[in-house]
Each structure stands twice: as structure tokens, then as C-alpha cells.
Amino acid sequence: MRALRLKSWKSEPVLEDLPVPDPGPGEVRVQVGAAGACHSDLHLMHDFEAGQLPWDPPFTLGHENAGWVHAVGAGVRDLEPGQPVAVVGAWGCGTCARCRDGLETYCERPDLAPVRSGGGGLGLDGGMAEFLLVPAARHVVPLPDGLDPVAAAPLTDAGLTPYHAIRRSNAKLVPGATAVVIGVGGLGHLGVQILRATTAARIVAVDAREAARDLALSSGAELALPPGEQLVDQVREFTGGVGADVVLDFVGSDDTLAAAAHCVRQLGDLTLVGIAGGTLPVSFFSLPYEASVQTTYWGNRRELAEVLDLAARGLLHAESELYTLEDAAQAYLDLRHGTVRGRAVVVPHDSYRP
């Protein structure tokens, strides 16, 4: 089978031929219908060195995956060949306290997880291939009726990550509240949709690109603003002078974090999702009183099922550009150059469609 692999840190991925994996006990082989290309993969390619993570290349890229069950190992029940499924991205040990609570993104015993990996496409082979071997059936979620793998794949991260972040602040997103979304790209445009579908908050979107602001408005934002010297005053004016109850920063640069800190309201939440490498000095007087600064990472299986349900009901849709597996490396180049509208999704040429 063909697979797009990261062979070493600080390198470009290459397309190779690999054997089709055979599922062992408890494992599931998925025929890949689609795999999302994520900005975090660019960090894997260009920013990391040996020793910075508990795992190293080589591995197949792709941690946003959906397709069809192709074969199952001994002991796997309730999954049948041909069944459309999405794959939960984070693969923890399954036995620590966090994993038992369904929070495998925050596994506390990575030494017990498969080869100390973060999941498929993160140390283990991911879905930028014709087949994906999933090490446990609990990481496979059946797709609801009406949702196909191409639509589902980017939601396993780009939909799930903002959904988890928004749920964390759900109690503050009541009628009359305001949420500010900074960065309306692959995750941010889904964050706007999730806010619109699941909360009563008014939504302000912030992005330097006019096309992204237009996408935010079509996704449900009431106001779309460019960054700059007027941004904080504009948010304050929109909120009657008090600031935003929740600010979601999908960029995470020094500039966006500084703007977020000036936009957030007393008792509000500032949630950092983006990994642009910025920092936010925190002191007694640097933030409004009782404002909380928090980070989030991905989401869990239960939340993914809820995201997929929203999508199947037409309440959530990832704006996507499709690439073949042969053009998957180009998808990452387009991501790097900022020319992708929404999400880049790789679809293998000969994906089996029951």
C-alpha cells in the first residue's frame, strides 16, 4: 500500500510502499476514506528534534482519519467489514485514571501506551495511507447515518478540538454572553459553527485575512474584525464595555495572546488552543480579576461522537479542499503557504466504497 511518511525530523514527507498491516487481537484495520492534513504536522516536520518527544520517526502521517472497517482481529465485536467509522486520534494506555475516565489525550502512563506514541500519525503509523491499523477497537467510532468518511475525517481533530474547548467554558456561554474566536482557519471556522450550534453566545471572529472573516460570518459570527490597534476597543464597544466572557485563541502568538488578555472580561475564560509559540505574562494586575487562562488539547471519544452527530444533522461542516494521496505532500505545502480555505483533506485514489 502507499503511505506518506515522515522519515526524520526536520524533513519533508515522502510517499512509500508498505505492506498492508494485519490486525492482531483487539485491533482493527481501517480502509482509509479520508485523512486530514493538520498544521500541527508542519510542526512535526520542521520544529522538533530527537529527544524532544517520547517517540521519533519514521511513521506515517495523518491523525485525522475516517474510512471503513476492513478487517478485525480476534475478540473485536460490534464492528463489521464495510462499516463507516471515524478514528479517535489519541491512543493512551487505556488503564490509567485519565484513560479510564475516557481522557486518553491526557494519558498519565504513556510508557504503557503503544511504543510511547501519541497516536496514529503521532509516533505510530497514521492515515495518510490506504490502510490504517488501529490498536484497539475503543478508538473506532461508527459514523451516524448521513455522514461519510470524507466529511467526518477533519472533524476528528479540527472539529473535536474546538468542541472540547468550548464545552469547558459552556457555563459562561449563556444568553447575553460574548465569545471571541481569534483565528478563523481550519479549527476556528468550526469553532464558530460549534458556538452557534451549541450555545447562545454572540460570536466575534478575528482574522487578518478578509476571506477568513467572510467565512466566519457565513459560519455564524455576528461580527468579524481584523487584528490591529482598534481591535480591543471594537470588542469592548460590542460588549458594552465589559469585554468577552470567553476568548478562544486558535493562533497562540504573542500578539494574539496579548489581544486576548485585553479582550477578556472579569471572571472570563481565555483559552489557548493554537501552538504558534507565544507566551502570556501573568501577574495580579495583568488580567481582569478572576479571569482564567487555560490550555486544552484535542478531546475524547464521547465528545467525538457528539461532534459527528452535529455534522450528521447539518449543524457542523468542515470547509475542505481535497487532495489525492499522490498530492498529499502538496497539501502540506499549501498549508504552510496559507492558501488552504478551511481544511486540507487527503482522499486515497482507490478508497473502497461499499
Tell me the pLDDT tens digit for each residue of 60-93: 999 999 999 999 999 999 999 999 999 999 999 8
Choosing from 275, 295, 315, the residue where a domain stops is 295
**279 falls within a domain:** yes
For residues 299-325, average pLDDT: 96
Which residues make beta-bridge pairs with 2? 17
What is the structure's pLDDT at 33?
Answer: 96
354 domain-assigned? no
Q: Are residues 202 and 266 in the same domain?
A: yes
Q: Would you say residue 353 has pLDDT above 90?
A: no
Under the banding of pLDDT at 50, 70 and 90, the label for residue 354 is very low
Ramachandran sector of residue 301 (left: φ over 0; alpha: ψ -120 to 50; beta: rest): alpha
Mark whether 177 and 244 lie in a shared domain: yes
Average pLDDT over residues 34-54: 91
What's 305's domain CATH number? 3.90.180.10
Higher pLDDT, 338 or 75: 75
Q: What is the CATH number of the domain that holds 228?
A: 3.40.50.720
Q: What is the pTM of this model?
A: 0.95
For the residues 13-40, what does the mean pLDDT come to? 96
What values do phi and psi take at 346, rounded to 5?
-95, 125
Residues 9 and 153 in one domain: yes
Same domain, 92 and 103: yes
Residue 97 in any domain: the answer is yes
In this prediction, residues 147-155 reach a mean pLDDT of: 97
Domain total for the chain? Answer: 2
- Going by the DSSP 8-state scheme, the letter that residue 300 receives in this structure is -
Nearest to 187 by CA among 250, 243, 259: 250
Residue 313 belongs to some domain of the structure: yes
- 153 and 165 within one domain: no
What percent of the chain lies above the pLDDT cut of 70?
97
Q: Is residue 353 part of a domain?
A: no
For the chain, percent of residues with pLDDT exceeding 90: 88
Asked whether the predicted pLDDT for residue 352 surpasses 70, the reply is: no
pLDDT value of residue 279: 96
Judge whether 74 lies within some domain: yes
- Domain boundary, last residue among 252, 268, 295: 295
Q: Are residues 143 and 281 in the same domain?
A: no
Looking at the structure, tell me whether residues 201 and 123 fall in a common domain: no
Same domain, 153 and 88: yes
The pLDDT value given to residue 185: 92
Domain end, chosen from 295, 310, 332, is at 295
**299 has a pLDDT exceeding 70:** yes
Q: How far apart are CA 273 and CA 253, in angstroms?
A: 11
Q: What would the mean pLDDT of 287-311 be, rounded to a whole number?
A: 97
Q: pLDDT for 197-255, tens place per residue?
A: 999 999 999 999 999 999 999 999 999 999 999 999 999 999 999 999 999 999 999 99
Cβ atoms of 234 and 205 closer than 8 Å: no
Q: Is residue 290 part of a domain?
A: yes
Note whether 174 and 96 are same-domain residues: no
pLDDT of residue 342: 87
Q: Mean per-residue pLDDT for 36-43? A: 93
Tens digit of each residue's pLDDT (9 = 90 or more) over 262-280 = 999 999 999 999 999 999 9
Are 105 and 86 in the same domain? yes
95 lies in some domain: yes
Query: Do 164 and 251 belong together in one domain?
Result: yes
- Cα distances from 167 to residues 174, 191, 261, 274, in angstroms, run 12, 11, 20, 17
Average pLDDT for 114-120: 73
Picking from 105-114, 235-244, 291-300, which range would have the lowest pLDDT averaged per residue? 105-114
Residue 19: which domain range? 2-157+299-347
Say whether both 133 and 227 belong to one domain: no
